[in-house]
Amino acid sequence: MLTFDSVTKTFENQVCALDNVSFNIKRGEFVYIMGPSGAGKSTIFRLLTLEERPTSGQIILENQVINTLRRSRVAALRRRLGVVFQDFRLLPNKTVYENVAFAMKVVEASETHIKERVPLLLELVRLLPRKDSYPDQLSGGEQQRVAIARALANDPGILICDEPTRNLDSATAKEIMRLLNLVNERGMTVLMATHDREMVNFMQQRMIIIESGKKVLDQTKGGVSS
Amino acid sequence: MKIKSVSYYFKEAFQDMRHNKSMLLASVGITLVMFVIMGFFFLFTSNLNYMIKDEEQKLQITAFLRDDIETERIQAIEQELSEIEGVRRVYFVSNQEALERLSERLGKRKGLLTGYEEDNPLRHSFEIYVKKSNEVPQIAQVTETIRDIAEVRFGRDEVEKLTRLSTSLRIGMFFLAVGLSASSLLVLMNTIRLTIDARGEEIQIMKYVGASDWFIRWPFLLQGMILGLLGALIAGLILLALYSRLYAYVIREIPFLPMLPANPHLFNLIQIIALGGLAIGFFGSMISLGKYLKV
């Protein structure tokens, strides 16, 4: 599904954010990318969304080398990724429904498809009764659920979540984790960056630990893999 | 591009313009001022060229005769002139006719000539029309050698002076156009940048969910183009109103001054200005959008 093959990213100021990192994620897996701030977790995500290109190595998504994609193909790639941010990034002037529909509208989905799909997504994240609320009328947890619904809107192949529970209290964070687990159980591949060990322990899943740009541990649910 | 998306682009563009009225006025205003100034310069030089053409067409030699010449001699000179190689036609202008012509050209101000009817200060002359304008100097030279011809004039000096003036005006107009377009472009870019800034988050989300660059660009490009076009069209209307008045005045008061009519000349200019407005809007938005699309 997703392969990082000896990926190195060195920035112009000679800071090495990722150093020869390799891993392979299978379809339907739930994988934590763990590590302290500045370890390189965000770089992995930025490389995946092609905001950055690796200095060396290859990134393969669904049998396609993506790091050499032309700029004009980047938009099409991003439709295959669902992205969830720690700060939700909802549009404040749009309702819950409109925020999710917006993601479909901007990739020119048909109106009929939008009308069918958005209520289903809101039901999945248990926010259908609040579809007409604005983000500032919602709690942090609810906002993050809207963001997850939006990330799933265009039926991506993989959901990438950049510390989605960071700004939430422990109970709400667990609620979000349960939701992500539910999405994963329905077949979605989930890649989640976190530095919250409590969350990782709460949901026993595969864990890749990055420190100072290097992969230091790749531990499956039951033990340690290469 | 889907029709649904086109209506989305327009909706977004108008929504942004409603939210940003003061910058909207500033950009339309500066574009308008720029096009009015450029339009006037353009019309001025066009008219100057028109005058040059008019002069060139009239390019002829005028041979003034000595005051005390006799009628038989005039006929003989006419014969001699017609026989010169390259001469198309020779026309005798008596001092009486010259005075009448002058009076006609002065229009309302012909009162200035009162008293000259009895004591006509003008001379008899011949208008010599040539076949090829480049032969004018030689024919003028030959004409000068004919006895009883006091003075020979031809219009080349005026034409050359006008041409020189027109060339320097055109150069001036070019630099003025560059300067004005640049300032108009800057103001427009600033306007678009403000609306882009206000929607930076939205653009970023659009990028993350996979909206194409063009989908993101169109509302802003449309906005720029609408602002540019609006400025250009208002400028066009102002030019049309002012020029038509000027034209009517010139026809009435200075009838001998050749001037281009508004139709079709000014209408063509308005079309060019409209295209210019669209182009400035388009490129202004394109440049402003540059860095936002690099997510």
Question: Would you kindly state where each structural domain of chain B is located, as residue ranges?
Answer: 3-55+161-293, 60-154
Question: What integer pLDDT is reported at residue A224 of this predicted model?
Answer: 44
Q: Give the three-state DSSP class for B263.
A: helix
Question: What integer pLDDT is reported at residue B69 of this predicted model?
Answer: 85
State which residue of chain B sits closest to A151, comparing Cα positions. B209
Q: A102–B4: do the CB atoms touch at under 8 Å?
A: no
| Tens-binned pLDDT, residue by residue, of chain A (226 aa) | 899 999 999 998 888 889 999 999 999 999 999 988 888 888 999 999 999 999 999 999 999 999 999 988 898 899 899 999 888 889 888 999 999 999 998 888 888 999 999 999 999 999 999 999 999 999 999 999 999 999 999 989 899 999 898 888 888 888 899 899 999 998 999 999 988 887 787 778 899 999 988 998 888 864 444 4
State which residue of chain B sits closest to A155, comparing Cα positions. B209
Distance in angstroms (rounded) separating the CA atoms of residues A99 and B205: 10
**Chain B nearest CA to A223, separation (Å):** 34
Prediction ipTM score: 0.81
State which residue of chain A sits closest to B294, comparing Cα positions. A51
Q: B209–A49: do the CB atoms touch at under 8 Å?
A: no
Q: Best mutation site among A70, A71, A83, A106 for testing chain B: the one with the most B CBs within 10 Å?
A: A106
HSE of B280 in the Cβ direction (CA atoms, 13 Å)?
34
Report how far Cα B98 is from the mean position of its chain's Cα atoms: 32
The reply to whether B213 touches chain A by the CB within 8 Å rule is: yes
Q: B205–A103: do the CB atoms touch at under 8 Å?
A: yes
Q: B213–A76: do the CB atoms touch at under 8 Å?
A: no
Distance in angstroms (rounded) separating the CA atoms of residues B207 and B204: 5
The reply to whether B18 touches chain A by the CB within 8 Å rule is: no
Distance in angstroms (rounded) separating the CA atoms of residues B171 and A225: 75
Question: What integer pLDDT is reported at residue A97 of this predicted model?
Answer: 95
DSSP string, B46-80: HHHHHHHHHHHHT-EEEEEEPTT--HHHHHHHHHH
Q: Which of residues 177-216 of A touch B (CB under 8 A)?
A: none
B200: number of Cβ within 10 Å? 11
**Chain A nearest CA to B210, separation (Å):** 4
Q: Best mutation site among B9, B11, B208 for testing chain A: the one with the most A CBs within 10 Å?
A: B208
Residue B113: which of B97, B99, B95, B98 has the closest Cα?
B99
Kindly state the tokens that stand for A61.
């998504």
A150 contacts in B (CB within 8 Å)?
209
List chain B residues with pLDDT less than 50. Answer: none
Q: B204–A103: do the CB atoms touch at under 8 Å?
A: no
The shortest CB-CB distance from B205 to any of A76, A89, A154 is to A89
Question: What is the second-level CATH architecture of the domain B60-154?
Answer: 2-Layer Sandwich (3.30)
